Amino acid sequence: WCYQTHTSNSSSKKGGADRLKKEHILNTLADACLDCQQVQAREMLRLFRELTNQAQTLELQISGYLNSLKEGSIDYLISAKHSPLCDKDHRQARPGQQRPHLRSAYVAMAGDLMGMHDTLPSKNDRFLYDAKSEVQRVLGANISPQFLANEIMQSIDVNTFVNGVLADINNQSPTADRTIDRRIVFRWAQKGNMKNPHFVFYDEDREDDFKDQSPSKPNEENMFQPFLSKKVLLDMLLSMGFLQHEPSYSGSDDDDKKAAGNNEEKTNEKETNKADPQVMKLKNWLVGKINHNAIEVLEKVVIAHLPALDDMIFMLSMLWKQCPYS
């Protein structure tokens, strides 16, 4: 069914980005149904959040991108600490030693401390106890969830995060499958979050701020769409609480004022340092500011009794009618 829908839509040139979004959702659903129930539950909740527009703020959309990096870091940690057993089938490894359930263990232990999305499926994994035991066997029985969260967050490269968000917003393709909606970037800036909201657009007077980026300027058709410099994006991420300066960084506001009084050149140097990702790190606690879990009623339906494929398709088709992409 997913394949027929995909090929049917592909044969038509109509739809553009909306068609690509539908294909992405259908392919995600099809791939999930080829995996275990734990993966299906996680993808169902993620698709539900996507179809019901639960990421309508800039903070939530950037958090969604960061969440994919957290998941990638957990997968890397599993590969580093649990290979090759984690990728063996049921004939060679117990369920608690396999990747999907090990992922549940790491998310259940440290996911809330990292502000991860949809941690409830992991906490209800039927093999969670065995998977946690395997994690403790490998990492030590006294492993602290806070220590684990810090280790995972520190493994995410700040430049990778910043450049990924920048590439998503500045993507010039008319059919780009975006994580971040460019329309809400300017809305966020207009709500008093920036001294000059128009800094989210390209400006030839600030050409030097864009010269090391690729692309370094928007296409003609995107001239009136947000196009960020890395310097502006870093300021935005700092103000939203995704980044913070390293404790060793001494570029406080008081230092800037002293530098301004003594020497203008020192002030310029300090400002340059403040916009350098090398002196920044990711914050690992966003709970309270962002609600990461999907609507409770769907969580109970999916977790308590995962539907068969036909039921899953029916549920998504009902949501599809309410979807802005349909």
3-state secondary structure 126-195: CCHHHHHHHHHHHHCCCCCHHHHHHHHHHCCCHHHHHHHHHHHHHCCCCCCCCCCCHHHHHHHHHHHHCC
Task: Give the confidence band of 57 by pLDDT, cuts at 50, 70, 90.
Answer: confident
pLDDT value for 295: 35
Q: How many CB atoms lie within 10 A of CB 80?
A: 9
Q: Using CA atoms, how far apart are residues 213 and 217, in angstroms rounded to an integer?
A: 8
pLDDT at 197 over 50: yes
| 288 touches 113 (CB < 8 A) | no
- Percentages (nearest 5) of helix, strand, coil residues in the chain: 65, 0, 35
Would you say 97 and 89 are in contact if contact means Cβ atoms under 8 Å apart?
no
**Lowest mean per-residue pLDDT among 12-16, 215-219, 243-247, 302-306:** 302-306
pLDDT of 278 reads 63
The torsion defined by the Cα of 203, 206, 207 and 212, in degrees rounded to 10, comes to: -120
Res. 49 pLDDT band, cuts 50 70 90: low
pLDDT value for 50: 67
* Residue bearing the bigger pLDDT, 125 or 304: 125
229-248 pLDDT per residue, tens: 999 999 999 888 888 877 66
pLDDT at 292 over 90: no
| DSSP helix/strand/coil, 216 | coil
Decide if 178 contacts 168 (C-beta within 8 A): yes
Q: What is the pLDDT of residue 277?
A: 64
Percent of the chain with pLDDT over 90: 35
Whether the predicted pLDDT of 190 surpasses 70: yes
Picking from 110, 154, 156, 116, the residue whose alpha carbon sits closest to that of residue 132 is 110
Summarize the confidence of residues 192-216 as an average pLDDT.
91
What count of residues does the chain have? 326
Residue 90's pLDDT band, with cuts at 50, 70 and 90, is confident
Residue 305: predicted pLDDT: 45
Distances (CA, A) of 148 to 43, 131, 134, 151: 24, 15, 15, 5
Tell me, what's the pLDDT at 41? 78
- For residue 287, the SS3 value is strand
pLDDT band at 170 (very low <50, low <70, confident <90, very high): very high
Whether 101 shows a pLDDT value over 60: the answer reads yes
Q: How far apart are CA 320 and CA 95, in angstroms?
A: 34
What is the mean pLDDT of the segment spanning 308-314?
A: 55
The pLDDT score that the predictor gives to residue 124 is 87
Q: What's the pLDDT tens digit per position in 173-185? A: 887 878 888 889 9
Residue range 48-60: mean pLDDT, rounded: 71
- Given this model, what pLDDT does residue 25 score? 76
> What is the chain's Cα-based Rg?
22
Residue 90 CA, chain-centre distance (Å), reads 31
Q: For residue 280, which phi and psi values (nearest 5 degrees)? A: -125, 160
Report the mean per-residue pLDDT for the chain.
76
| Mean pLDDT for the stretch of residues 212-222 | 92
Q: Are strands 280-282 and 243-245 parallel, antiparallel or unpaired?
A: antiparallel
Per mean pLDDT, which of 53-57, 146-150, 286-290 is the most reliable?
146-150
